[in-house]
Amino acid sequence: MPFEPTSMHQTGFQINDVVEDHHDRIQHRRPFTGDFKDFLGSIEVIYTDDSDQPFGTIKEITGQSADLNEGMGGACVWLEGRYATSPSEMVHEIAIDIRNKTQDRNDSLSKGAEGSPRFLDLKRDVNKNEFIRTYGLLKTSREHKYPPSGWSGISNDINTGRGGDYLYIVWRSKECKSSGRS
């Protein structure tokens, strides 16, 4: 099931309704219960030949393109999150792993572009109290060492070493209330 995180504004919609939060520019689908199934469990890397953003993929929080390879050449690269299916899948942090050599993997964030290959590094630790519930991309002309206001975490720069705007994954974390974590 695609990961479509719930907004901080949780009232006024049914489970099957899609709500657009114009501040975050993120799609939301279901209310928060606090169970492990409400948290990010994995992220799928999707490639397309055109710049039309596929439905259900991560959005850029200021309304810019969410194509990770925009302006870099290569395929259009999108991210689609998935809910956790077990407590051990819950993600508490996202980092970008930039390699010096090409890796024989099918999840490159820079497919077909010049420069070092880069990959997602999802951090999991069931002993943590908070896990990623809501996330988006942040594209900016300025470097960010800390998450923007209203966000609890930020990855390292996806575009490190290849120029262009700074590009980060930002997220909000919430406490997991499920006793099924243990």
- What pLDDT is recorded for position 130? 94
DSSP 131: E
Nearest-angstrom CA–CA distance, 104 and 13:
43
Note whether residue 89 is domain-resident: yes
Note whether residue 40 is domain-resident: yes
Backbone phi, psi, residue 126, to 5°: -65, -10
Residue 2 predicted with pLDDT over 50: no
Mean pLDDT of the chain: 82
Residue 175 predicted with pLDDT over 50: yes
Note whether residue 151 is domain-resident: yes
Q: Highest mean pLDDT: which of 25-34, 91-100, 102-111?
A: 91-100
How many degrees, rounded to 5, is the angle at CA 72 between CA 119 and CA 62? 80
- Express each pLDDT in 30-54 by its tens digit: 577 778 888 999 999 999 999 999 9
Q: In Å, what is the CA distance from 85 to each residue of 36, 42, 88, 90, 182?
A: 8, 10, 8, 8, 15
- 173 strand-pairing partners: 132
What DSSP assignment string belongs to 59-111? -BTTSS---TTTTT-S-EEEEEEEE-SSGGG---EEEEEE-SS--S-S--TTT
Structural domain tally of the chain?
1
State which residues form the domain around 110. Answer: 19-181
For residue 74, give the nearest of 56, 51, 58, 52 by alpha carbon. 51
Residue 46: is it exposed, middle or buried by C-beta count within 10 angstroms (0-12/13-18/19+)? middle
Residue 113 predicted with pLDDT over 60: yes
Position 100 confidence tier, pLDDT thresholds 50, 70, 90: confident
Note whether residue 174 is domain-resident: yes
Note whether residue 126 is domain-resident: yes
- Express each pLDDT in 126-169 by its tens digit: 999 999 999 999 999 999 999 999 999 999 999 999 989 999 99
Nearest-angstrom CA–CA distance, 64 and 139:
7
The CATH number of the domain where 31 resides is what?
2.100.10
